[in-house]
Every structure is written in structure tokens, then in C-alpha cells.
Structure 1
Amino acid sequence: MCDSDDEEIKLSAETQAILNQFLKEKEQQEKSQVVEENWQLSQFWYSEATQKTFGKIMKQLIRDSKMKEDICVALLSCPSLFETINSIADNVRLFEFDERFQKYGKNFVHYDYNLGNDENYLKEYKKTFDLIILDPPFLSEECLRKSFQIVNRIKKDDCKIILNTGIVQKTLAKELGLEKSSYKPQHKNNLGNEFASFANFDLNKYI
């Protein structure tokens, strides 16, 4: 009787272990699935070289500044940088409209730049982030201004900000306190618009 009971308990434990392994593999598979660009959402993924460059920038910022691995990083509308940055820093949040990126679990925050005028929008993240990288989906003044309203809400006072956008936004970026760097982000599918990285610090030093 005891032998039988022990066998049942052991079998139950083994079954649970198999189930746990299956669920873990399923979760990893879902996370590893490639999310294709949705041009209707104005999505254009960065090239591998650009992703690696931002990984290098992240490592340099951690090494050469007061930043630590546990700094809080916000990625606004640039999901193709998430896996690279998340492999380097511990606290990364992806603010993204596309709900396909819910696969990143608690690291995903549903985000709509159109709500930038709402003072209560994302107030739970007020003065949270040490580093913000953003790539507004549209090359319009309205989109950038609303995006920056949110940036100003969620950034710490000494937050470093990197903006990837078209050269056409240079004047507005300067008005918002960002200087053009020498770096030009590249996309997997070449875009007609020339892009550049703008920052509120000397980004060239970290490239």
C-alpha cells in the first residue's frame, strides 16, 4: 500500500515537472518568435548593426558613468532594441502600441503617444527612468511633441535621452534640448528618410 502511494506521488511529481518544462519551452518559443514589421503602424526595425551599436552604447553608459546595471531604461516605440538592451540592463520597459509585444510580459507597457496631453497618463512612472530611447512612429511635429510630453513625465531629473528620428526633425529636437550626433541609425528595410540620433548628452563619446 505504501509502495503504491509512493509511486503515485512520484508519478505526480514527474508529471508536474514535465508540464513545467513544456510551459517553459512554450513561453521561450513565443518570446523567440519574430514579430514582423507592421507598416500600417509605421514600424521599421533596426538593422543588426544598429542594434549592436545601441548595445555598445548601453554598456559604455554603464561603465563610464554613475549608471549601474539596475538602472531603469524606457524604450518608446523602438521594440527592435528591446532584446539587446534587456540582455544588458535589468530594468527595461518597452512602451509600445503594438500588443504583439505583450510576449515580453511585465516588461511591456501599452503606450499611445496621442495621450501625451493627459497629465495622468502613465503617472505611475513619473520620474522613474535613468535612460530613455525613443523613436516616434511618425515624422511630424505633433507626434514628437506629444511623445516628449510623456518623456518629460517619466524621466528622472538627470535622465539621459536618445531620440532616433528623421533629420527633418533637427530644429524641433534642438528646441527640446537634444543635439544631433554623428550616428545614423540604419533599418533592415532601407528607408527614404535620412535618420540621425539626437541626445541631451555627448552621444558621440559612446559610439
Structure 2
Amino acid sequence: MASDSESDYEIELSEETRKILQQVMAEKEAETERFAALKRQAESDFDKAKQADMSLFTENWQLSQFWYDDETSRALGQEALDNTDDSSVIVCISSPSAFVKLMSMDPPKNAKIYVFEFDTRFDIYGEQFVHYDFNHPDSFRLLNELKGKVDYIIADPPFLSDECLTKTLETVDLLRKPETGKVLFCTGAKMTDLLLSRQYTLTSFDPKHRGGLSNDFRSYSNYASIKFPARQ
């Protein structure tokens, strides 16, 4: 039979657990309401919705979400703008923080910009959001409309595995314009050999993440970048 002190401890622990659960549920409810409000705003005034930033989106580690820091996001967004014009099509694959930053940088109004992402929270961007699962590289909305028509792609496969990268490459090859479509991959340094074998070049730009990562990250391009030259 438990002593009085042990019983008190168990009751106290149960109460503490209850408080933690209540806090988690309250935070989740608040986040849901923020997104509902943002979605309503997007429906009424999309220009205001573009002011959304990544602070609204908590990282989900189960989805391998690790957002870029602001400097990296801005550099990627600027690189996309520097290599496109007002009639270009830009796609950010599994790189929502680059997309969100790009949308805040006043891109050309006639440019078509999409985010391919598994996380449906990003559907606040309406038609610019394409639900994407790397496991099905040739199955997504707008495949027929965008096939072979994308001018610039930023891709960041969610997992550091040959399978994930290979399937993302399949999507990239479906989307990019033959010969002229430019692609910038951001992924772990351990994926270098596979990307080099696919004719990508290791650049001098190393993406950084908001919370830091234990894995070294690199970037790879299929074009000669002025701001991200080849690593010597």
C-alpha cells in the first residue's frame, strides 16, 4: 500500500500533467484560430495575406520541417528574382520558408509562383499552394499545366536519403523547362555525390536554419550563378 507521501506525489503529478495537456491544447487552438483568421484575410485581401511570415508556422519535426533563417530565405528569394522576369514561373518544392519570404519581396505581378508542400497549412496561399508528396513525384495538381514550363525551381527534399532526393529530382525534371529551366537544390552535404552525378554543381552558398542543424547543408545548381558561384 502506498504511503501518504507517495499518494500526494501521484496526485500532484497528475495535476501537473493535466495542466500541461491543457496548455498544449490551448496553444493548438490558438494556432488554428490564427490560421483561420489568416485564411479569411487571404480570401478578402490577398495582398495583406502576403505579409505572413514563418513565425506563424511552427516546425513539425515529424515532417522534417526545419525553417531557414531570415538571411537564407531572403538570399534564396533574391536569387530566384535575379534569374527570372515578370513572365516567369517559379516553384518552391518542399521549401516553404523560401516561398513565404519570396512572396513578401514584391515579386512581379505577372510572375506565377507556387509552393509544392505536404503541409496543408500553406493552403492559405490559395491556388499558389500545390499539395505535394515526394513519394508520388508525378502525381500532383497542375502537373499538366506546369509540365516543362517552370523557369526556376528551389528544391529542398524533406529527408536526407537517396530515395527522397531521387524522387524530388523526378518532379524537378518534369517541371523545369528543357534546356533553360534553372534549379537550385538545398540539401545535406551527404547528398553531394548523387547531385554531382546528375550534373549539378556544388555552390559556395551554404543555407542556414533558424534553429541550427547538426547536418551540414549545401546548395547545388544546374546553372552558373553570379551570387552563388561554384565552390572552389
Higher strand share: 1
**Aligned residue pair count:** 182
Aligned to 1:94: 115
Distance in 1 of aligned mates of 2:45 and 2:65: 28
Could you tell me how far 1:92 is from its partner in structure 2? 0.4
Alignment partner of 1:74 out of 75, 83, 91? 91
Aligned to 1:150: 171
Aligned to 1:32: 52
The 1:129/1:117 distance shift into structure 2, 3 A limit, reads closer
Aligned 8 A contact 2:157 2:164 in 1: yes
Instruction: Give the structure-1-normalised TM-score.
Output: 0.79
Aligned 8 A contact 1:141 1:172 in 2: yes
Aligned to 1:41: 63
Distance in 1 of aligned mates of 2:141 and 2:44: 37
Aligned 8 A contact 2:92 2:116 in 1: yes
Alignment partner of 1:176 out of 152, 173, 198? 198
RMSD: 2.8
What amino acid does structure 1 have at the position aligned with 2:107? Answer: I
Aligned 8 A contact 1:93 1:109 in 2: yes
Matched, 1:128 2:145: no
- Report the identity percentage: 34
Q: Which runs of 5+ in 2 are unaligned?
A: 1-39
Q: Which runs of 5+ in 1 are unaligned?
A: 1-19, 62-66
What amino acid does structure 2 have at the position aligned with 1:24? Answer: S
Aligned 8 A contact 2:154 2:183 in 1: yes
Question: RCO greater where, 1 or 2, for CA within 8 Å and sep 6 or more?
Answer: 1
Distance in 1 of aligned mates of 2:125 and 2:113: 10
Distance in 2 of aligned mates of 1:195 and 1:43: 14
Distance in 2 of aligned mates of 1:57 and 1:119: 26
Further displaced range: 80-89 or 155-164: 80-89
Aligned to 1:8: none
